[in-house]
């Protein structure tokens, strides 16, 4: 393999405006039809990849992984997410306004609710298993990284579900090699890059987001059929409920049930078309808030500029050390993984789409940020000599394209990537 002829891969900004996904055989509608859980957007449970990884380039070996991962599946964050629905259904039941399906839905929610008490936002057993799987596959795919006296620096935001996700992955690494020099750390001191706040520039760019999302929420929320299935009095629904909000809240709880080991399944309450429409609202909302959306000035991925600079600067301290092998693991949230993948321009994540009515043809949220989503940059060095350092990007453990030229996909020269990303970050900073 000749890595010195960069002739194949080139990302053209114009093509990002007009071309649909080329690397996916199915449309989002078809994918949701095949697996309705995908309509859950950021509630979608992580699915272990089944595609094999490309073989290591001849004469090279992996030696370092730079990683950022979201916590695994969790309980919802607010008691009102559950209790708000229960109270409304109980009130209606007290007036005799529930159908049999409405009564069953209330019973299902009341049966599930006790497990949420004092667990809001916590990692579930499903989420823990997700990270054990990711950690185990990391050692299986890249054993060279974790062999011998490997050094692993793992850091998390201060949120418990993130900390426990870190623990699960690190347990798998130490199970693989008990001699690994493992360092774990959790502190608010890391928040500036593990979970960076939006600054004024980003907040100003996002000001129009709410109005646009409200437009599409009104357009794609059709609650009449669902209300008629749960309530036996349409006038009661009109007088006592905000049907649009109730439908959205019920769907919110429905989609997160996949985060649990439970028999409660609320998806049959919704038609496939309703699930698809409600997903489209979330797809648009997340694109405007975290993607390179022209409607929000294309700058929202730069919310993760501190994280990307940390990844680059950390790599700078490692890549020239011929004796080093190990990993830097970072744990946080989907509001970081999503824009990081867009900032890195992995696959189609960095697309700029003017027509939000057809956004799903170009940009699909659940492909980027399910529970336990992760970005891994895997570094390779020559076994002998001083050749180029190569990098492969994995998005949710699947090989991804990157925005510089290469003739050896999925491998890219680190020097090219480093220059590209630093220039991109610098241009953003000077354009204030």
Q: 3-state DSSP call for residue 337?
A: helix
Q: Per-residue pLDDT averaged across 103-124, rounded?
A: 98
| C-alpha to C-alpha distance for 110 and 183, rounded to whole angstroms | 43
% of the chain exceeding 70 in pLDDT: 94
pLDDT in tens, 50-96: 999 999 999 999 999 999 999 999 999 999 999 999 999 999 999 99
Half-sphere exposure of 266 (CA within 13 A, CB side): 31
pLDDT in tens, 337-363: 999 999 999 999 999 999 999 999 999
Residue 338, C-beta contacts closer than 8 angstroms, at least 6 positions apart:
286, 290, 291, 365, 368, 369, 373
Count of Cβ atoms closer than 10 Å to residue 211 Cβ: 8
Q: What is the model's pLDDT at position 385?
A: 83
Domains and CATH numbers, the chain: 13-430 (3.40.50.1240)
pLDDT in tens, 202-223: 999 999 999 999 999 999 999 9
| C-alpha to C-alpha distance for 381 and 320, rounded to whole angstroms | 9
Q: What angle, 0 to 180 degrees and rounded to 10, lies between the N-to-C axes of helices 272-290 and 334-344? A: 70
Half-sphere exposure of 313 (CA within 13 A, CB side): 7
For the chain, the average pLDDT equals 94
Q: Per-residue pLDDT averaged across 112-129, rounded?
A: 98
Q: Per-residue pLDDT averaged across 177-195, rounded?
A: 97
Answer positive or negative: Cα dihedral of 354, 193, 396, 421. Answer: positive
| C-alpha to C-alpha distance for 411 and 164, rounded to whole angstroms | 32
| C-alpha to C-alpha distance for 423 and 204, rounded to whole angstroms | 24
pLDDT in tens, 274-319: 999 999 999 999 999 999 999 999 999 999 999 999 999 999 999 9
Q: What is the model's pLDDT at position 9?
A: 33
Q: With left for phi above 0 and alpha for psi between -120 and 50, is residue 324 left, alpha or beta?
A: beta
Q: Per-residue pLDDT averaged across 13-24, rounded?
A: 39
| C-alpha to C-alpha distance for 237 and 102, rounded to whole angstroms | 13
């Amino acid at each position: 393999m000749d890595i010195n002829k960069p002739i194949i891969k080139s990302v053209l900004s114009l093509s990002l405006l007009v071309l649909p996904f080329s690397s996916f055989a199915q449309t989002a509608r078809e994918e949701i039809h095949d697996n309705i859980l995908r309509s859950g957007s950021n509630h979608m449970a992580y699915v272990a990849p089944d595609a094999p990884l490309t073989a290591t380039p001849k004469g090279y070996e992996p030696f370092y992984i730079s990683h950022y991962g979201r916590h695994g599946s969790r309980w919802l964050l607010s008691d009102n997410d559950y209790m708000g629905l229960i109270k409304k259904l109980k009130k209606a039941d007290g007036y005799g306004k529930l159908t049999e399906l409405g009564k069953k839905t209330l019973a299902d929610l009341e049966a599930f609710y006790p497990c949420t008490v004092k667990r809001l936002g916590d990692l579930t057993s499903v989420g823990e298993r997700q990270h054990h799987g990711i950690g185990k596959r990391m050692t299986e795919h890249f054993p060279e990284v974790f062999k011998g006296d490997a050094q692993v620096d793992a850091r998390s935001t201060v949120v418990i579900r993130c900390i426990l996700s870190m623990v699960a992955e690190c347990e798998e690494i130490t199970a693989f090699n008990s001699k690994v020099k493992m360092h774990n750390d959790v502190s608010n001191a890391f928040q500036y890059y593990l979970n960076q706040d939006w600054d004024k520039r980003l907040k100003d760019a996002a000001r129009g987001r709410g109005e646009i999302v409200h437009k599409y929420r009104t357009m794609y929320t059709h609650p009449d059929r669902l209300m008629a299935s749960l309530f036996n009095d349409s006038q009661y629904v009109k007088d006592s409920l905000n049907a649009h909000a109730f439908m959205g809240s019920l769907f919110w709880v429905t989609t997160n049930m996949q985060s649990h080991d439970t028999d409660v399944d609320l998806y049959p309450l919704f038609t496939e078309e309703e699930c698809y429409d409600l997903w489209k609202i979330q797809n648009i909302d997340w694109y405007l808030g975290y993607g390179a959306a022209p409607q929000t000035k294309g700058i929202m991925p730069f919310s993760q500029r501190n994280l990307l600079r940390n990844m680059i600067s950390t790599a700078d301290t490692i890549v020239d050390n011929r004796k080093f092998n190990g990993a830097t693991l970072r744990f946080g949230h989907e509001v970081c993984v999503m824009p990081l993948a867009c900032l890195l321009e992995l696959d189609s994540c960095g697309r700029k789409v003017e027509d939000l009515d057809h956004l799903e043809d170009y940009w699909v949220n659940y492909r980027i940020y399910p529970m336990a989503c992760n970005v891994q940059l895997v570094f390779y060095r020559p076994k002998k000599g001083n050749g180029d350092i190569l990098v492969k990007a994995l998005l949710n453990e699947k090989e991804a394209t990157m925005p510089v030229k290469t003739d050896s996909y999925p491998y890219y020269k680190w020097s090219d990537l480093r220059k590209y990303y630093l220039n991109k970050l610098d241009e953003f900073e000077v354009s204030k």
